[in-house]
Amino acid sequence: MSGLRQTKQLKAKQALQQAAIALFAAQGYSSTTVEQIAERAEVSPSTFFRYFGSKQDVVMYDSLDPIIMEAFRAQPKDITVISALRLAIKDVYTRLTQHQYELEMQRFTLVRTIPELQAKILDEMARSIDLFADLIAERTGKDAGDLAVRNLAGSIIGAGMAALLSAYKRPVSVDSIDTFDAALAQLEKGLDI
């Protein structure tokens, strides 16, 4: 896919997600329809469905994934996978605009408070493990299906879920990102307690 086409698709997905989150905040998740989201984003419902299969998917979509992946790839090769990920996440989150940051926090809040979205977390975890396994394999030269690669990917995602579940008990804030970083730091040291 060409860079221009990818950029256009990314912008379309972000516009739909922003419209959806604004509507969810204004009238509630269950009261918002795909048609309303499409109208607010100034596209047709069929365009919505070109990018997302449901309104659940529009919330679960993480526009930061490709940015974090690129930041991860840019990290020095002589540091560990976890150190590279920690630096990449810090780099991306410190460069977010206030609007982007607020959108992410609203998205996190929806995922933690809407039962339909909570049910999607397992699917998202599986997708994330595959994504990280591919990144780890690329960085280490190992196969993405290698047990050690999959274990590391699963451990990273598990640490992230543990951190987020802990953060879910508090209002979502930058503390959620700090908690994830602390979880990764502990994972990198080893899991002895």
Phi and psi at 79, nearest 5°, equal -110, 160
Q: What is the mean pLDDT of each successive set of 10 residues along the chain, which is 193 residues long?
A: 76 92 93 95 94 93 89 94 92 88 85 84 87 94 94 90 68 65 84 60
How far apart are alpha carbons 18 and 103 in whole angstroms? Answer: 7
Among residues 177, 128, 122, 178, which one has the least CA distance to residue 156?
Answer: 128
CA nearest to 29, candidates 105, 107, 119, 103: 107
DSSP per residue, 34-64: HHHHHHHTTS-HHHHHHH-SSHHHHHH--TT
Residue 82 in contact with residue 156, Cβ under 8 Å? yes
> Which pLDDT score is estimated for 81?
93
